[in-house]
Structure 1
């Protein structure tokens, strides 16, 4: 496909020194990922005491855990529309304010109903952050370092989850969950203040006929001597070629391959079981006889593995590619989950406890690298500009929809088919995910967003056009 092959070599080299503002944009906006990770992860440690303080049944615990995901689905849908109208940067600032409001509400909640309402508000912010921050980074970052900057979002999610586990251990005890929830106000303020000094997405500016502002922004975001006019011309060409967004825009035949990839990866990111472990690991281990202290410390280990996976994933997606990262590490994720299921079939012993903990850590590491490092990266990369806002919202909605499915069924599944049966189901989902990646997912490493869109529009299979 001539257009793609001639344009791709013109992307910036990784050896070019990038302006500090590029990294500042990624670092500040990725604080939204830290909030996302903290507010979804903090329930893991808090739940051990919430269920006592508020007298929650298993179903009540699932509701408190999962209501944030209902809010996230609403936030993901709404943020895409708002960002199309008001800009990516402004929506991220609004998200920070909603994070702070939800954190205060959860910390002061007088009962289960108020806590559920506050966690729904937090969900609105989580959905908005998970939808808009990756898009914002993707549209600002240079092609050569786009992968690692976008994976910074997932790394910050992992750091947020680690902080959540640490706070769950530090503030363990009746009533300590209020402090756990309230601490989220601090990064929310940091995000809001930091975004004040960051620029708007140049691609959004061009799409909204503000090319002069886009030129000024790109001068600050690109190395000295970069061909800003050519980059703006490329964005303009894509924006001009794109049809107006309407209800059926995402069903056009040339868009469909990208949508299948984005939605498929989004679904498997949850069906492979990661958040069943993140949300319920301390509860499952405590109920299995490990003791609350060991369960909470194991939770901290899970947080550490998430951070290690985030760092490793950031390196892997640019070093070996998005597709190959998935194909290398998802099979190992499925194997680890299978070992975890087998471990719960054998009798209780010290050796069995160690096998459970090691396989749990291995699963988190491999799934974190192979699946979680790609899920927030692939949709903003592969979806075309004309539908990027609503289509990324749909992909984010898919993440939260399947996350909700896992959250509201995990404990019930354990009660129905046991821990081993539940883990074997998740292991099977890892196998299906590998098949999906082999058949559908192309490699987008070192391809500009405009090159990827040209490959979508060209005749022939997307994977072949992007080679």
Structure 2
């Protein structure tokens, strides 16, 4: 029996790892633009607003697609929506690689944005619903680990193609993992909890058993899900009903604050900032972002092992505190007189590394995990799409305004502003985000009721 249990747990981890290729694509297409933008702006003669648009159109379409993805995931299933997202990733990669002008590039970025909006919601949702409570935090966080690996891979690919400014290769090579995701997902099981929502109990029981549950554990899981499904219908009215409202707004605010603390300004614009603020060469600027990507992956791996041991709240509070310290340090360093500007390069890089480390161990993996595990099954797709939409909409606003704010307010005030938002986020987490470590999805939902 124990060997069957271990075999089932290993199968869950393998399924989660393959599904998390969606996270890899999310990370790659997020990170690749940072290096590519250095050359796109020269080849296509883009001004600041057009550069912001190239970055932000992906985020806009991610935000637009997220609410639809939630509804479609409830209707057609988590698995099918991940396959659809993989198809969009492939189409977007080819459009970007063969762009002949600014508008075609925008179109490719928009298609990839729709893919990311779909994958960023459905992948952690799918993984959370196939994973037992004992390893759910680790399995869902595999998605965030793959996001960070995707970002690091993007920085390395950018570095590899930096000579000659081959930005089309930087953006188009993501078609390869997208094709892998499309192919592999065809053979993975459907979410048993989604099958239960359709009344397909026998099929759901079969999948629960394959995933390492004993017959008794399967019976308990099925009974809990059936009890939950008897309570309410899956409607938008129910999403915002008084009983579910605290969980909905906690998720939405955490998703928004994950972006308003400035993470993607670093991912999208780090080379641009290092080239303009610190006066690094293009190659040195991209090389610095490789270091950022390596720190991101390393700390996410650490979070993977700690998240089901230490819990969600301690990692959130510790990580966001590191982010606040780094941003305030950047703000103070940039306010120093010109006589110390020669030393700004190493200070800038160290502060960025500390900031990324804090995000990778806290808000990075846990915000998406919280969205995936906190909502009742009957409204989970719709509810998670609300958080996903809020995340991408705030991401769009930050990306579309960052260069303008940086040029208007200067680096010092800009970084101090994001540091203050981090302090506010710490207070919010302390007051409103509960601990979910070691609890089944059904137990977590009972907490809010």
Residues 299-318 of structure 1 deviation map (CA, whole Å, 9 limit, x = unaligned): 10111111012112212221
Matches within 5 A, 1:108-127: 108-127=98-117
- 2:185 corresponds to 1:195: yes
- Counterpart mapping for 1:39-438 below 5 A: 39-224=29-214, 227-241=217-231, 243-288=232-277, 289-346=279-336, 347=338, 349-438=341-430
Separation (CA, whole Å) in 1 of partners of 2:37 and 2:216: 52
Q: Do the aligned residues in 2 keep the contact of 1:309 with 1:369 (CA within 8 Å)?
A: yes
Distance 1:66 1:455 in 2: 37
Asked if the contact 1:49/1:173 (under 8 Å) is kept, the reply is: no
1-structure distance, mates of 2:221, 2:21: 28
Correspondence for 1:30: 20
Return the offset for 1:247: 2.9
CA shift, 1:343, in A, is 1.5
Task: Please say which of residues 368-377 and 58-67 is displaced more in the overlay.
Answer: 368-377
- Taking structure 2 as the reference length, the TM-score comes to 0.96
User: What do the CA deviations read for 1:210-264 (whole angstroms, capped 9, x no partner)?
Assistant: 01110111111124565212211111111112x1122321221110111121111
Structure 1 residues 47 and 226, CA gap change in structure 2 (3 angstroms): farther
1:380-403 residue CA offsets vs partner (Å, 9 max, x unmatched): 111111211111001000110110
After superposition, give the CA deviation of every residue in 1:337-370 in whole Å (9 maximum; x if it has no partner): 1111112222354432111110111111112212
Q: Secondary structure at the match of 2:308?
A: helix
Distance 2:133 2:7 in 1: 11
- SS of equivalent residue, structure 1 residue 109: coil
**C-alpha displacement of 1:453:** 1.5
Secondary structure in 1 aligned to 2:420? Answer: helix
* Aligned residues of 1:147 and 1:317 also touching (Cα < 8 A): yes
Assess, with a 3 A threshold, how the Cα gap between structure 1 residues 212 and 375 changes in structure 2: closer, same or farther.
Answer: same
Distance 1:55 1:174, change over 3 A: farther
Distance in 2 between residues matched to 1:409 and 1:104, nearest whole Å:
28
When structure 1 is superposed on structure 2, of 262-271 and 15-24 the one drifting more is 15-24
Task: Give the Cα–Cα distance (whole angstroms) in 1 for the partners of residues 332 and 280 of structure 2.
Answer: 17
The question of whether the paired residues in 1 share the 8 Å contact of 2:22 and 2:123 is answered with yes
Cα distance in 2, alignment partners of residues 371 and 286 from structure 1: 27
Counterpart CA distance in 1 for 2:422 and 2:306 is 19
Whether the 8 Å contact between 1:17 and 1:223 is mirrored in structure 2 is no
Secondary structure of 2:352's aligned partner: helix
Which ranges in structure 1 are unaligned for 5 or more consecutive residues? Answer: 1-12, 458-467
Secondary structure at the counterpart of residue 227 of structure 1: helix
Residue ranges of structure 2 left out of the alignment (5+ in a row): none
**TM-score, normalisation: structure 1:** 0.93
Q: Which residue of 2 aligns with 1:5?
A: none
Q: C-alpha root-mean-square deviation of aligned residues, in Å?
A: 1.6
